[in-house]
Amino acid sequence: MRMFYYPKKEPGKVYTYPVGIGRDGWNTPMGTTSIAVKTPNPDWHVPPSIQREHAAKGHRLPSVVRSGPDNPLGYYAMRLAIGSYLIHGTNKPFGIGMQISHGCVQMYPEDIEILFQKVPVGTPVRIIHDPYLAAWHDNNLYLEANEPLEKWARSKRQLKKQVSKEIGKIAKSHSATVDWGKVDRVHDRADGVPTPVLVNSPDVPELAKSAVQLARPS
């Protein structure tokens, strides 16, 4: 549940942020789209479907929630060119990293403020479900494993098989030897931490000792 921004004006650089996504029954749509509209201090025009959902629970929502601290969109919103989906901030940051929205992509307030300034209208956006990632970096082969979302749980075995093929191809192209035991342990851990999987490569405890500690912005 992360966003990766590759700025054209900064080749070779990537910005990455944690996000919240659509919950079960309100899935964030996959596919290719773009940023259609950017709105600072947005009002939230509550969709009828969400009004009905809250009414069924005994909560009455207004048709419009004005910009401010009680607005679920936060202070920045970027509308996508598909349906009524947004990339936006939130007034409930505890939901970041969870399946919690009605399909929109939510970001920490301090992250959306930065991204909003960087991203121009028209920027392409790809929404993907890719829980297993492999890449060669600094003379080592890395695997990152995350648990697939529930709706793709049945595809877990096939997804792992696909990334194992990719690992084999990458290793062969660099004449490297894969430690398949490490691969299995990364899959079992499924913690989203990119981990070296070559023979004699450092393991997580060793990597953790030299990791730079970062604090979330206040």
More confident residue, 48 or 6: 6
Q: Is 141 in the same domain as 74?
A: no
Q: Which of 3, 50, 25 is nearest to 151 (CA)?
A: 25
Q: Is 142 in the same domain as 114?
A: no
Angle at alpha carbon of residue 129, lines to 161 and 27, rounded to 5°: 135
Number of other CB atoms surrounding residue 97 within 10 Å: 16
Q: What domain range is 25 assigned to?
A: 2-127
Q: Is 70 in the same domain as 161?
A: no
pLDDT, mean over the chain = 91
Number of domains forming the structure of the chain = 2
| Domain-embedded: residue 216 | no
Among 54, 59, 88, 137, which one carries the catalytic annotation? 88
Q: Is 182 in the same domain as 82?
A: no
Mark whether 54 is an active-site residue: no
* Measured distance CA(205)–CA(178) in Å, rounded: 19
- DSSP 8-class letter at 102: S
Domain boundary among 127, 157, 189: 127
In this prediction, residue 203 carries a pLDDT of 84
Q: Is 106 in the same domain as 59?
A: yes
More confident residue, 46 or 188: 188
CB 73 within 8 A of CB 85: no
* Measured distance CA(61)–CA(50) in Å, rounded: 9
The answer on pLDDT for 185 being more than 90 is yes
In this prediction, residue 28 carries a pLDDT of 92
In this prediction, residue 159 carries a pLDDT of 92
The answer on pLDDT for 210 being more than 70 is yes
Give the model's confidence band at 204: pLDDT under 50 very low, under 70 low, under 90 confident, else very high: confident
What tens digit of pLDDT does each residue of 49-79 get? 887 887 888 878 777 889 999 899 999 999 9
Q: Is 64 in the same domain as 123?
A: yes
Please list, residue by residue across 39-75, b when 16 or more beta carbons sit within 10 angstroms of its beta carbon and e when fewer do: beebebeeeeeeeeeeeeeeeeeeeebebeeebbbbb
Among 102, 104, 129, 137, which one carries the catalytic annotation? 104
Name the E strands within the chain: 2-5, 15-22, 31-40, 44-45, 64-65, 76-80, 86-88, 99-101, 105-107, 124-127, 132-137, 140-145, 195-196
Give the model's confidence band at 217: pLDDT under 50 very low, under 70 low, under 90 confident, else very high: low
Q: Which of 142, 21, 31 is nearest to 82 (CA)?
A: 31
Q: Is 152 in the same domain as 199?
A: yes
What tens digit of pLDDT does each residue of 22-40 get? 988 888 999 999 999 999 9
Mark whether 104 is an active-site residue: yes
- The predicted model scores a pTM of 0.80
- DSSP 8-class letter at 61: -
Give the model's confidence band at 100: pLDDT under 50 very low, under 70 low, under 90 confident, else very high: confident
